Chains A and B, each alone.
Chain A
Amino acid sequence: MLDFLLRPLRLMAQSLIGDDSPRRVAWGFALGMLAGMLPKGNLLAVVLGMLLFGLQVNKSAGLLAAGLFSLLAPLWDGLAHTLGSAMLASPTLQPWFATLYQAPLGRFVGLTNTVVLGQAAIGLYCLYPAYLAAWWAAATIRPRIAKWLLGYRVIRWLKGAEIGAQLGLQS
């Protein structure tokens, strides 16, 4: 029970003081950002979530990004709707969307929704910059923050709990 309650804190601490490489942290953050920006309830969000959990990326950073951008993304839904509408209305893309829509499970993908498509486009557009920013932060800022945080007993205890959890021990 305690493990369940402490897991969010542990994830956050791990994302900051973990031993993952900056590359994994950056990919985790980028995928989490992309998944967080999309409206839920479509196969695209599900696939991104599965990628986040299935790939060897920093899940803590991914979940942190997903939660953060789930809160922030509705702020630019209007822009996403405009962008998605323009793409869906594009004669060039419409056959592709029609094929996708009429394919099995196609309408559940969500790419025919204006906001999903717009947020996906924005997310993809921001994916590499976010990856670079996250890589730089993980490589430059995270060691300093980790050193500072490890000075606190509670952080050390959380880290120990995480190690214990990874070894199959319950707190």
Chain B
Amino acid sequence: MLPRLCLLIALVTTCRLCLDGAVKWAITSGGEAALGAKVEIANLDTALLRGELTIRDFAAANPSAPMRNLIAASEANLMIDVGELCRGRLLVTGGAVRGIEFDGQRTESGALPATDDSPDAPGPSVFDPLVAAAEEKGAAWLDDVTGRLETDLESQLQTPRVAQELQDRWPQEYDAMRAAIDDIQTRGKQIETEFKEAKKNPLRNAAKFQTLAGDVTTLEQRVQALQARLAALPQQADADRQAIDAARKHDQEFVRQTLQFKDLDGDQLSRYLLGEETYGYVSTTLAWVQRARELVPSKKPHAKPPKGRGVEVKFVDTPRPTVLVKRMELFGNARLRGQPLELAGLLTDAASQPQFHSEPMRLELAGAGALACTLQVTCDRRTDEATDTLQFDCPELPLRGRTLGKAEKLAVTVAPGAASLTAHLQLVGDEIVGTIEYAQPSTQLTASAAAVRDARLTDALNKSLASLQRVQATVAVTGNVQRPDVKLTSNLGPDLAAGFNQAFRAYLTEKTDRLVAKAQAKVDEQVARLDAKRQAAQQELLGKLGEHQQLLAQLGSLTGGQLPAGVQLPGGVVLPANVAESAAGVQNKAAAAAAAKLGELQGKFKR
């Protein structure tokens, strides 16, 4: 009897000593298989008779960041139903996990030894193309505006060029007329001299008189030509004026077209400013959701090959999960920016085969202290399609100051402040639908447009932002959870775009007016200078014509009464009855016509 009793005692002692290690091994190996990272337990005590399991210093490493813990807890007390344990089920009826810490630092890597089926390095996010497109569109708009602003418009205006051409052409015109008048004068003096010589012996120089008469006729023709030329000047001036008007109209249209820009689209600007940040949050959230879904047992258990001999027949009316955590209180402490953050929560109905349990798994977490927030997660596997919901509310989320957009292009700096964040996501199968709402009711925005190197424009932008003190954004997520469609709407983009458009438009209008006025002033100056030159030339031409008139008068006086009237010169040329009178008449006629035309021309230029 005694050996048998000893054997029994030894057996019980062995079981008792090995039980803790076996349970510890089961938890860590199962956890590592499910998580893909190290799961460590410093100490584990079991009290089967009382149905208690105590775990101390539990840590599960983050598979994505091996030097950080996904979750750690200082102590977990679990109340186990021993009766159900004898029936092959682990039923945790109650308990508490204390000292929960998320994302804590590890002293050694939590990565498991590399295996062939280790996950590949994460590829690019599905939101990368959206972020790139938003940034590209926003940057393209700004580049377009910048390019238009930095174009050397002044050098491309036509009005100054036309005015310059006139300024260059008119002096040539006057020089040509002046040269013609000088030539007439020179020729008149020659005729005078020759006439004086011929007058000494009229009879012998009859032929000379005939030649001189021809020269006078030629001179008269040249005077007439000059007269015609002077007569054409008003028409030329009129054409030049029309050319200046056409150039001015062209310049106005050119400047208007060049500085015209398409209004910035508000939604596009929202995506440009908030896209990277928002898509990053959504991508991270979805990655966590997917990760959590992988940890939650799927509805269809993996078909295990039968072990051993025979078939195990289960005599149960309704299948029940092998492991069920009925109720578990969660407590944790953390520090957020130096402030204590207390976490308290409740986990209910977490089952290893959730499809066999009548209630969905629920997790409720509430934060107090540095961050007041609530998180409610429901995982329902009772139906054919897995249904998960996530509700997160944080009315006062403290935010640091941050810069939205690209600092080297167009950026908006948001001052530090508190924001409310609400997220509601529902996943049915692989389809996701939900909204994430963000609102920062009171803040200060500062714009910087580094690409536009004009302080006045930046000032105008900031003036337009002065009235914008609220930032609100809503992200609607729909579609497949692997490649969801994300629609971002925010007041920031439209309000900012309206301010930007107004500021840019005012700035460009002012710049256009300034440019056109500058060109007009330059043209006016050139026209005035041209007018002054024309007046000087007119006086000069009139003076020379007056000298010429005197010359022809002298020529007339020299020839007056000394040439036989109506004499027939050799060659059939008949001298006019009174050469002097004829010459004076021609001269007077030419001078009067020239003065009239020049006066008309002056009047047109003045107009």
Contacts and interface: CB of A to CB of B under 8 A. Distances in A.
A88 B309 CA distance: 16
A115 B316 contact: no
B304 interface: no
DSSP majority for the B interface? Answer: loop
A113 B86 contact: no
B309 A112 contact: no
A114 B311 contact: yes
B86 A85 contact: no
B313 interface: yes
Contacts of B314: 101, 107, 112
Contact of B310 (A102, A106, A114): A114
A162 interface: no
Interface string A36-66: 0001010000000000001000000000000
B87 interface: yes
B86 A41 contact: no
Given A101-B316, A102-B315, A113-B313, A39 B308 contact: yes
A53 to B, nearest CB: 8
A85 B87 contact: no
B313 A77 contact: no
B310 A77 contact: yes
Interface string A106-127: 1110001111101000000000
Interface in A62-115: 74, 77, 80-81, 84-85, 88, 94, 97-98, 100-108, 112-115
Contacts of A116: 309-310
Contact of A105 (B86, B311, B313): B86
A102 B316 contact: yes
Nearest to B317: A98
Interface in B1-47: 4
**Size bracket of the A interface:** 20 to 34
Contact of A74 (B83, B86, B309, B316): B309
A47 B313 CA distance: 21
A104 B4 contact: no
B315 A98 contact: yes
A112 B4 CA distance: 30
Contact of B313 (A88, A102, A106): A88
B87 A102 contact: yes
B318 to A, nearest CB: 11
Contacts of A94: 315
A98 B86 CA distance: 15
Contacts of A103: 87
Contact of A113 (B83, B88, B310): B310
B312 interface: yes
Contact of A39 (B4, B88, B310, B313): B310
Interface residues of B, number: 14
Given A39-B308, A41-B308, A54-B4, A112 B87 contact: no
A77 B309 contact: yes
B279 to A, nearest CB: 51
Contact of A81 (B83, B86, B310, B316): B310
Given A39-B308, A54-B4, A108 B313 contact: no
B542 to A, nearest CB: 132
Contacts of B309: 39, 74, 77, 113, 115-116
B310 A108 contact: no
B313 A114 contact: yes
A118 B313 CA distance: 13
A32 to B, nearest CB: 18
A84 B83 CA distance: 28
A80 B40 CA distance: 44
Given A104-B83, A108-B88, A115 B4 contact: no
Contacts of A114: 310-311, 313
Contacts of A85: 311
Nearest to B89: A107
A104 B86 contact: yes
B4 A113 contact: no
A112 B88 contact: no
A9 B358 CA distance: 59
Given A54-B4, A94-B315, A97-B315, A104 B310 contact: no
B80 to A, nearest CB: 14
A106 B88 CA distance: 9
A60 B82 CA distance: 38
Contacts of A104: 83, 86-87
A115 B315 CA distance: 16
Contacts of A81: 310-311
Interface in B303-333: 308-316
Contacts of B87: 102-107
Nearest to B11: A50
A29 B88 CA distance: 33
A115 B312 CA distance: 9
Interface of B: 4, 83, 86-88, 308-316
9 contacts: A41-B308, A77-B310, A101-B315, A104-B83, A108-B88, A113-B309, A114-B310, A114-B313, A115-B311
Question: Which 6 A/B pairs are nearest by Cβ-Cβ distance?
Answer: A115-B310, A104-B86, A98-B315, A101-B315, A115-B309, A113-B310
Given A54-B4, A107-B314, 8 more contacts: A41-B308, A100-B315, A101-B315, A102-B316, A106-B87, A112-B315, A114-B313, A115-B310
